[in-house]
């Protein structure tokens, strides 16, 4: 048997996810944790059945892209601008607080100043994937909770892109100029996509709307084209996908497209969580490992209570503030991207990067349990709490 074939690796992932997922569901545990756990078990650091987690990670990236595309499909542009204006100061203030706390921890455990600053930057953000994966679809698309969460997460994503550009050497020492240039590129992308929908996509959909397969293919192509276009001009794939979805959001076809893409999105998100576990590297000193686990455990309540205070001050109701804060209480997939960018730029050692990985995954696990046990989610093991 060819254990290095893509088919074998793919089969090992799906079979492993199915088996461990079944065990987790019987035990009434969040199935997302099973996805991460099977990545650790059969990945390079475990049984070694998956020797190339990078290829899985690339497939997983598609799930995140589709997730942002679907969010864009369900969010009207005028409402997005209103939400951004309200969330921008809250997002910046909380991100700075998490950066300061995390930098202080990194210095306390003996990391260099440069590594500590990178660590602080990596811990600023919350996970778009986990935050939106664990919120019921009806809440995400049709209620204030989902709208506020989306605005905060998207603003964090923009901040994360800026951080990664600086780490990778794209800043040239001019912070303000870099920020303005990013906004200019985002505006140009947005305008071009909207014109493309009006003069190209909608006429084609009207002409061939009786062929359902064509609607599916052309809208998926629209998503991936703008994801690649955004990447080409120095933004993220996720940004391009979100803009692509937003450009269609005001059209009636948007809801049909979003519903058709959900199974495809779910499949690739399984790959995402598997890749998170498969890339975990515990090659570090025991002291650093224990410190990383301890800080990851502490960071979740710090984020939750900080977000709750900020949402209260911004005028949200007490109950809603608590739910929003809990759903945003983890680190982000961008934390891992920041770490790998810093490693490539020579700003981190592999051991220091591993600390960021461990902290991030610990927050994923704790935050997932906290959300699933307290609030309705699509993956709850209790029937009355399961809502999609």
Where are the chain's structural domains? 6-383
What average pLDDT does this structure show over 351-360? Answer: 88
Q: Tokens 């074998």 identify what position?
A: 8
Q: Which of 76, 65, 15, 80 is nearest to 261 (CA)?
A: 65
Residue 310 in this model has a pLDDT that exceeds 60: yes
- The pLDDT of residue 185 is above 70: yes
How does residue 291 score in pLDDT terms, banded at 50, 70 and 90? Answer: very high
| pLDDT reported for residue 173 | 52
Q: Scan for tokens 């997002």, then name that residue.
A: 91
Structure tokens at 176: 């303000």
386 DSSP assignment? B
> What is the pLDDT of the chain when averaged over all its residues?
82
Contacts of 302 (CB under 8 A, 6+ apart): 98, 101
The C-alpha angle with vertex 72 and arms to 376 and 256, in degrees rounded to 5, equals: 80
The predicted-structure confidence for 35-57, as pLDDT tens digits, reads as follows: 888 988 888 777 878 776 666 76
Fold category of 6-383 in CATH: Na+/H+ antiporter like fold (1.20.1530)
**What are the tens digits of pLDDT across the range 53-81?**
666 767 777 777 887 787 777 666 666 67
Q: How many CA atoms lie within 13 A of 37 on its CB side?
A: 16
What pLDDT, on a 0 to 100 scale, did the predictor assign at position 243? 86
CA–CA distance, 165 with 335 (Å, rounded to integer) = 14
Say yes or no to pLDDT of 142 above 70.
no
Give the tokens for residue 186.
Answer: 């985002």
Q: What string of DSSP letters covers 195-209?
A: HHIIIIIHHHHHHTT
Point out the least confidently predicted range of 92-101, 122-131, 249-258, 284-293: 249-258
pLDDT of residue 304: 95
Residue 204: band (very low, low, confident or very high) from pLDDT cuts 50, 70, 90: confident
Which residue's structure tokens are 């698309």? 141
Per-residue CA distances from 82 to 85, 151, 266, 306, 341 (Å): 5, 9, 29, 23, 33
Specify whether the CB–CB gap between 222 and 244 falls below 8 A.
yes
| Contact status, residue 30 vs residue 379, Cβ threshold 8 Å | yes
End-to-end CA distance of the chain, in Å? 41
Q: What is the pLDDT of residue 171?
A: 47
Phi first, then psi, for residue 281 (nearest 5°) are -125, 115
3-state secondary structure of 254: helix
pLDDT at residue 151 in the model: 82
Long-range residue pairs from 371-375, CB within 8 A, at least 24 positions apart, any chain: 371/134, 371/326, 371/327, 371/329, 372/30, 372/134, 374/326, 375/134, 375/323, 375/326, 375/327
Whether the pLDDT of residue 196 is over 50: the answer is yes
Give the C-alpha separation, 92 to 102, whole Å. 15
More confident residue, 362 or 334: 362
């Amino acid at each position: 048997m060819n254990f290095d074939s893509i088919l074998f690796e793919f089969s090992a992932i799906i079979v492993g996810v199915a088996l461990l997922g079944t065990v987790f569901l019987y035990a009434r545990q969040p199935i997302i944790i099973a996805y991460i756990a099977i990545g650790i078990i059969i990945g390079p650091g475990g049984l070694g059945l998956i020797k190339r987690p990078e290829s899985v990670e690339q497939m997983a990236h598609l799930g995140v892209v589709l997730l942002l595309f679907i969010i864009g499909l369900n969010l009207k542009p005028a409402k997005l601008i209103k939400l951004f204006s309200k969330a921008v100061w809250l997002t910046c203030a909380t991100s700075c607080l998490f950066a300061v706390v995390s930098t202080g921890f990194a210095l306390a455990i003996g990391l260099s100043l440069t590594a500590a600053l990178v660590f602080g930057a990596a811990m600023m953000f919350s996970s778009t994937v986990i935050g939106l994966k664990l919120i019921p679809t009806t809440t995400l698309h049709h209620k204030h909770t989902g709208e506020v969460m989306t605005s905060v997460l998207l603003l964090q994503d923009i901040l994360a892109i800026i951080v990664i550009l600086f780490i990778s050497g794209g800043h040239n020492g001019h912070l303000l100029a870099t920020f303005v240039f990013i906004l200019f590129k985002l505006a140009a992308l947005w305008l071009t996509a909207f014109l493309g929908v009006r003069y190209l996509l909608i006429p084609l959909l009207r002409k061939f709307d009786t062929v359902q397969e064509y609607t599916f293919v052309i809208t998926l192509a629209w998503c991936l084209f703008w994801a690649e276009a955004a990447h080409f001009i120095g933004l993220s794939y996720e940004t391009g996908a979100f803009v692509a979805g937003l450009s269609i959001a005001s059209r009636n076809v948007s809801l049909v497209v979003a519903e058709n893409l959900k199974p495809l999105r779910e499949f690739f998100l399984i790959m995402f969580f598997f890749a998170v576990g498969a890339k975990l590297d515990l090659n570090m000193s025991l002291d650093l490992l224990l410190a990383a686990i301890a800080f990851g455990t502490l960071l979740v309540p710090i984020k939750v209570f900080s977000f709750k205070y900020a949402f209260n001050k911004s005028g949200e109701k007490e109950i809603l503030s608590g739910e929003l804060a809990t759903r945003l209480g983890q680190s982000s997939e961008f934390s891992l991207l920041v770490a790998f960018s810093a490693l490539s730029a020579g700003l981190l050692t592999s051991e220091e990067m591993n600390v960021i990985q461990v902290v991030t995954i610990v927050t994923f696990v704790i935050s997932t349990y906290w959300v699933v046990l307290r609030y309705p989610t699509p993956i709850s093991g209790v029937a009355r709490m399961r809502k999609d």
